[in-house]
Amino acid sequence: MAPAFLLFFAIFYAIVSYSMAMVMKQALTQAAAEGARAAVKVDPLNYTSATSYENATRAVARARATESLSWLPADALATVLSGVAVSLTASGAVQVTITYNGYNVTPPLPILDLPIVGKVPDLPDKLVGQAVAQPG
């Protein structure tokens, strides 16, 4: 019965751990979408140069994405914010990419090293959320 329990526990723990990774990926995608939507609302007519408009757009997107992820613990938030990239296309679309590098180093649930089964779970190194918004 003990080996069966160990296998059942490993499968259950892997499901919960992978679910946390999926929730985090969805949160990154949602934050990227929030940032992109906020960035397309920036009016280019309020700026004297293209550079100042692009800087303002990036700042607004980053601020909105940060606000959307404010529920994360401080160390995870700092890691995620270092992976925020905002780019503007020639058509005026805003693309926001948020990367959580090192997710498998500091996951929300610890990685277990179980006998026979090995390490549970085998998490990805990075999680990426991406969104594009076109001004309408």
pLDDT at 123: 83
Q: Model confidence over 6-45: pLDDT tens digits? A: 888 888 988 998 899 999 999 999 999 999 999 999 998 9
Work out how many domains the chain is built from and give that number: 1
pLDDT at 120: 78
Over residues 44-57, the mean pLDDT reads 92
DSSP 41: T
Element (H, E) at 1: none
91: Cβ contacts below 8 Å, ≥ 6 apart: 134
CA 82 to CA 80: how far, in whole Å?
A: 5
SS (H, E, C) 74-134: HHHHHHHHCCEEEEECCCCCEEEEEEEECCCCCCCCCCEEECCCEEECCCCCEEEEEEEEC
**Res. 54: pLDDT tops 80:** yes
Closest-CA residue to 132 (of 33, 22, 10, 47): 33
Parallel, antiparallel, or unpaired for β 84-88 and 126-133? unpaired
Range of the domain at 15: 2-133
Contact at 8 Å (CB) between 28 and 134? no
Q: What is the mean pLDDT of the chain?
A: 90
pLDDT band at 104 (very low <50, low <70, confident <90, very high): confident
* CA 27 from centroid of its chain's CA atoms: 6
**Res. 118: pLDDT tops 80:** no
Stated pTM of the model? 0.86
pLDDT at 39: 94
Over residues 102-107, the mean pLDDT reads 84
Contact at 8 Å (CB) between 99 and 126? yes
